[in-house]
Amino acid sequence: MIRRTVAKAFGPGGAHSTAADFAGALQSTPVSRTASLNSLFSSLQVAFERAIAERPPGVPGPSAPGGPAAGASLASSRPPPAPPLRPSASPLPARAASAPPPRGPLAAAKGEIVVSRIHTRIEGLEFTVDGPSGSFRFLNSLEGFISIEWGRRGLFQEDRLLTIYFAGGVPRPIERPAGVQRAPFKFTSVPQLVRELLARVR
């Protein structure tokens, strides 16, 4: 199914006139294109993780309600010292093991954005980005293309396809929206994809 979709989207019969400008994307050696796309796939997963880690959910800022006022000294915000401990006749009850933090759709339902690790599938390599407004599934077919699917409540449809164009021997990612007749290719980048797709799952 993926092979037929890719062939239709990137093949000569389904491309716009701009396909001639990007002919190097398909004429390059398969090894170089596949290796470059594998690197792009891994870079995307890492970039999503870093983008989420930069803004941890539930952590108030300096001026957030309940936090210390701006300019307040560290000493003034410290709680009073606790009284000295005294020996107890009975041992303290053991603490129950804390439950692991929710991940995937469960965490997304609580307003968080979760990026999965890269997993091996029959179709290739896959990772997902789950958020309150929806999810993206990234599938590296290992044949020179990355399929990005958008979905909600477990139902996914293809959103766009990525491949590599060699500009002067330098690999550059290009994308094409799925389901749009004669849609032109356009250059893209990892930061641009992360910003755009995270905005849709928030």
Query: Domain-by-domain residue ranges, the chain?
Result: 2-55+111-201
The pLDDT of residue 12? 44
Between the CA of residue 74 and those of 63, 71, 77, what are the distances in Å?
A: 15, 9, 5
Report helix angle 190-201 to 30-53, nearest 10.
50
The pLDDT of residue 45? 97
pTM across the whole model: 0.64
CA angle 147, 33, 41 (to 5 degrees): 45
- pLDDT per position as a tens digit, 7-21: 444 444 444 434 444
Q: What DSSP letter does each residue of the chain carry, written as one string?
A: -HHHHHHHHHSGGG--GGGGTTTHHHHS-HHHHHHHHHHHHHHHHHHHHHHHHTS-TT---TTSTTSPPTT--TTTTSPPPPPPP---SSPPPPPPPPPPPP-HHHHHHTT--EEPPPEEETTEEEEEEEETTEEEEEEE-SSS-EEEEEEETTEEEEEEEEEEEEETTEEEEEEEETT-TTPPPEE--HHHHHHHHHHHH-
Tallying the residues shown for the chain, one arrives at 202
The pLDDT of residue 126? 97
- pLDDT per position as a tens digit, 139-196: 999 888 999 999 998 899 999 999 999 988 899 999 999 988 788 889 999 999 999 9
CA 193 distance to own-chain centroid: 9
**Position of tokens 């477990």?**
154
The pLDDT of residue 184? 87
- pLDDT per position as a tens digit, 67-86: 434 343 333 344 455 555 45
Would you say residue 129 has pLDDT above 70?
yes
- pLDDT per position as a tens digit, 42-72: 999 999 999 999 865 554 433 334 443 434 3
The pLDDT of residue 153? 82
